[in-house]
Structure 1
């Protein structure tokens, strides 16, 4: 029996459960795209699939809407795949395991993928329907959105004829999305200058866990601890206390997720290990007090594992690593003076890994103003230039543009009227601080008029992620009402 068989809206939840059974981690969307391609073929719908696993499915307008202007519908196929502490799960073998907890749908011990599986489910339901009036549809389902909007950048927009668009990649039913930020990512490489470990040493593992983490755009203003930043502070304290060599460091799961965990393996003089542990523990206590409101479950621990170390960072590389972490901007950088209550520019130090050459740190800068975004990117370049000695910085991935707010948008006007009819009140109109794929469409398709419709999702990009299915039951009639009023 299906887990969501009795959850409204039934048709939408059917397709959401179908998608939830597929492997949809970024770069592994093929199971989902295979399913959608078969879905389209079975219904005789025109569809186009590319090498990135983007897929576009088209459907003619229903009777009376045949000659209405085309509407593009948009969402992304992929999800952030993250498991909770102590959870073992293979996303490739059956997707996620759904659970219903009152009004919430969750996944057992993992991220849920309602971001943006629910948006895809709305589209599939419209494509499958025989009784919902709607104009001609061009449904664009992109891959690798969570990896820097790779799919959105690669969509063949010559396949699209629509000049109006609805985006379903939003997370709050109270709001209609009328604008959003852009983003760019940067990688900082630090050469380890590997050397042989000194003799008469003991391994000491320092771990940071229990942080709330969260989405680097929706949650960045909450002042939560960043595990990579915390680990950098602990490393500095250890180096200040004794003769410490660094064997490895790690933190985070993806550049657009606030890191919730991190670890470093140290190689410590046997006669100093007690003092270094004590210094790290003292700083850990201070950090817990520092973040007692923003991250009350912060855990910092040290253990002495039974492991061998065959190489360590040089002293200069260790200094470069600690200084780089400490000096990288993190969190909100500027406030938005055009949209009161919004921040304009932020940076998330999202991922740190030890490689064969040294350490890679990946950051994502989000801004409503391109020049401000590039100013922060320049800070990274200048920091690397000043450090020299094997420290390099480069832009990676795409420079995603912002989706500018148009207060006179006809699509916004239609959506506001539908919202008032269905919800019985006026919606909030939001210009968001987050970066979505919308700028890649609005700034490349001349005259494209866009609005976003959301459903209540919580704790995105974390194993606590949940979907309020009662919100979906309210939003689905809104979507159908908007469709009915796009007849001209």
Structure 2
């Protein structure tokens, strides 16, 4: 059985092990940022760190490449933090345990952080290299990519001289990325209209589990169950017959993750408890049949819960259920120009309890800005129509799309490198996913950009894994690619 220490290329996997040992969830990147700055300075490379903890490292070109156009390398330091129920892991303090499982590397019941730890490892390996011919390099590693791409939006691009850019935040080694979508997120605050919990009532905890979850862009077309939407659907069904009230509603990991878990605590009349339990069992059977292929592990668990002193009003309970049911979720439109490409989608990613009630967060992704903004405005209209003090706000940034570069030289160079390594043509893709690249190409005129990736699976979930043979293949492509950029 292969151990992690035996994996090749060591110059990449050694860096991935070092990054994995450092807690680096979104908004907790200072330690990994400091590590990269120290790494660069120990090698006498120029290193800059901004107030957000974004990092820029500059490395001269190798002999014969000193005067070649500068190449920008890009990746993001942060990772999505997910863990299975019952797993004791503090993402603010604990590193990731790496497990080699056949041809894949995974974590121990947590997310892995190969998104984008492998990409950053490619960058560190290039900065560390002494035997790879390459042009002058400007390595940009950003923070908070997984929370609205805040780091890239705040990065000062005036520091950059590069006219070409390669991004390593892609999910397969079978494609060369030539363009991608943009995204925007929003929140909907719903008031609980708190009332005193009446007598002769019982609290029930409804937990959704066993779901696959996944990335809200790469996996949205798979039509997996959304844990928040499923719980709201149960709520709405019960509320048609019984007096049920919300005491607490929580779910989802973060806005760009399809929710794999959630908990809805309902307060019901004691006299209705038995009938409600039967109704939930019947609803679970319906849902399991409905998602038999897309999400076969779906499970609803009901347990008694502690009765709180206050609950949502009946009107507010119904308002929450209706908003969750009507929010756009899943694939909204397909491209008519590229067969099989999702053009626009929306993900109801989280619901969080607040002092006043709760907050829903949605992320909208689209390859056409007008589509993205149309869905955004539809959600705004829904919030206004809901009434009861429901508030709609933009969350994070309006991330622009990355359109393909006209007359690109980077894309053909990447294609040629792929052919040298694989012996065949790659697919050149314009993707429905949203990356940080739009923040660079829209602020650096004529920036010639391409993406090179590795085989990553089940992103943003505890099943996340990366193919180590794919890393080895992609590293060969990267080495060949940078060597082609002499002029």
Contact kept, 8 Å, 2:164 with 2:410, in 1: the verdict is yes
1:232 alignment partner in structure 2: 232
Query: Are 1:374 and 2:360 counterparts?
Result: no
1:395 alignment partner in structure 2: 394
Within 2, Cα distance between the matches of 1:67 and 1:39?
25
Contact kept, 8 Å, 1:241 with 1:276, in 2: the verdict is no
Within 2, Cα distance between the matches of 1:45 and 1:476?
22
Query: Are 1:183 and 2:180 counterparts?
Result: no
Q: Structure 1 356/3 Cα, relative in aligned 2: closer, same or farther at 3 Å?
A: farther
Unpaired runs of 5+ in structure 1? none
Within 2, Cα distance between the matches of 1:463 and 1:356?
30
2:315 alignment partner in structure 1: 316
Query: Are 1:32 and 2:28 counterparts?
Result: no
Within 1, Cα distance between the matches of 2:420 and 2:267?
66
Q: Structure 1 3/40 Cα, relative in aligned 2: closer, same or farther at 3 Å?
A: farther
1:334 alignment partner in structure 2: 333
Within 2, Cα distance between the matches of 1:191 and 1:93?
34
Q: Deviations over 1:315-370 (max 9, x none)?
A: 11111101101111110111111222101000000000111011100000000000
1:20 alignment partner in structure 2: 20
Quote the offset at 1:92 in angstroms. 3.1
Contact kept, 8 Å, 1:60 with 1:136, in 2: the verdict is yes
Quote the offset at 1:3 in angstroms. 5.7
2:484 alignment partner in structure 1: 485
Quote the offset at 1:160 in angstroms. 0.5
Within 2, Cα distance between the matches of 1:424 and 1:86?
46
Within 1, Cα distance between the matches of 2:270 and 2:92?
44
Contact kept, 8 Å, 2:247 with 2:308, in 1: the verdict is yes
Alignment of 1:273-284 (within 5 A): 273-284=273-284
Alignment of 1:451-470 (within 5 A): 451-470=450-469
Partner SS for 1:31: helix
Quote the offset at 1:137 in angstroms. 0.2
Within 2, Cα distance between the matches of 1:319 and 1:467?
43
Alignment of 1:290-439 (within 5 A): 290-305=290-305, 307-406=306-405, 408-439=407-438
Partner SS for 2:105: strand
Contact kept, 8 Å, 2:327 with 2:379, in 1: the verdict is yes
1:134 alignment partner in structure 2: 134
Partner SS for 2:296: coil
Within 2, Cα distance between the matches of 1:245 and 1:94?
38
1:204 alignment partner in structure 2: 204
Contact kept, 8 Å, 2:405 with 2:449, in 1: the verdict is no
2:252 alignment partner in structure 1: 252
Within 1, Cα distance between the matches of 2:430 and 2:9?
28
Quote the offset at 1:477 in angstroms. 1.1
Q: Deviations over 1:23-60 (max 9, x none)?
A: 11000011111111110111111111011110010100
Contact kept, 8 Å, 2:267 with 2:307, in 1: the verdict is no
Quote the offset at 1:271 in angstroms. 0.7
Farther off after superposition, 464-473 or 83-92: 83-92
Contact kept, 8 Å, 1:105 with 1:467, in 2: the verdict is yes
- TM-score, scaled relative to structure 1: 0.98
Within 2, Cα distance between the matches of 1:267 and 1:341?
44
Contact kept, 8 Å, 2:245 with 2:266, in 1: the verdict is yes
Alignment of 1:34-49 (within 5 A): 34-49=34-49
Within 2, Cα distance between the matches of 1:384 and 1:100?
47
Dislocated runs of 4+, deviation >2 Å: 91-94
Unpaired runs of 5+ in structure 2? none
Within 2, Cα distance between the matches of 1:23 and 1:3?
22
Within 2, Cα distance between the matches of 1:91 and 1:225?
26
Query: Are 1:163 and 2:163 counterparts?
Result: yes
Q: Matched residue pairs, number?
A: 486
Quote the offset at 1:86 in angstroms. 2.2
Within 1, Cα distance between the matches of 2:106 and 2:300?
28
Within 1, Cα distance between the matches of 2:51 and 2:198?
49
Within 1, Cα distance between the matches of 2:314 and 2:201?
16
Quote the offset at 1:145 in angstroms. 0.1
Partner SS for 2:264: strand
Q: Deviations over 1:352-408 (max 9, x none)?
A: 011101110000000000000000001111111111112121111100000002363
Q: Deviations over 1:259-296 (max 9, x none)?
A: 01111111111111111111111111101111111000
Within 2, Cα distance between the matches of 1:373 and 1:66?
43
2:193 alignment partner in structure 1: 193
Contact kept, 8 Å, 2:77 with 2:120, in 1: the verdict is yes
Quote the offset at 1:153 in angstroms. 0.4
2:125 alignment partner in structure 1: 125
Quote the offset at 1:93 in angstroms. 3.1
Within 1, Cα distance between the matches of 2:46 and 2:3?
31
Partner SS for 2:100: strand
Within 1, Cα distance between the matches of 2:366 and 2:245?
38
Quote the offset at 1:159 in angstroms. 0.7
Within 1, Cα distance between the matches of 2:382 and 2:333?
19
Within 2, Cα distance between the matches of 1:202 and 1:125?
58
